[in-house]
Amino acid sequence: MPTTQELKLDPGPQRRQRSKFSCKRLLWTIVVIVCLALTYVVYLILRNVTNWIRAPHSHLFQDLTVPYKRNEVVRPLIDSNATFDIVATVWLRQNELRPALEDTNTTKGPMLVEDAIYSDTIFRGLHLKDKGVKTTVNLSVPTQIFKNAELWNYDLRASFVLVPSSPSPLMFSVNYSSWIPSTLYFPPMRVWS
């Protein structure tokens, strides 16, 4: 059994100091704030990257705070307000070949003779948002060509031409080029004006 003298010398378990507890709390608070700040920075970086992936050419978009300048702004040729007509032409191949056309660059082989058996505007005043529109076309197809021993993909074909209504941004397009190479034979299509 300890004596009273030994009891006075033994201070017992030490009490925690408030300063150590406050330092730990302050340290955890700083760590949490730094983590939140890093999370916010990562979020901003990811948001900018996804915006760039969705619209990589957004720096070319029109600034709506300045007046519109036609030559400096990239715009769609047909927007949601534009109206257009659709012209359909049905072509039937004849049983003859047209002689090759002499071209300055290349010599093309014999070309098929095709006649337009139907050509008309089948839709008028459409918008890009119009879906599921229907029409009836009165067309009779001569079936004599289908009795041949060999059938080709050009025996009967149709072309559809999108004709923008006036005024249209297509009227202001200049210096454009076609995706069709000059050496490639492209079947006839009704030119509509």
> How much is the average pLDDT of 47-51?
92
CB atoms within 10 A of CB 91: 21
| Pair 97, 112: CB distance under 8 Å | yes
Most confident of 46-50, 81-85, 88-92, 149-153: 46-50
Tokens 């505007």 -> residue: 121
- Predicted structure pTM score: 0.52
The domain segmentation of the chain, as residue ranges, is 16-70, 84-172
pLDDT tier at 75, thresholds 50, 70, 90: low
pLDDT tier at 193, thresholds 50, 70, 90: very low
Question: Is 141 or 14 the better-scoring residue by pLDDT?
Answer: 141
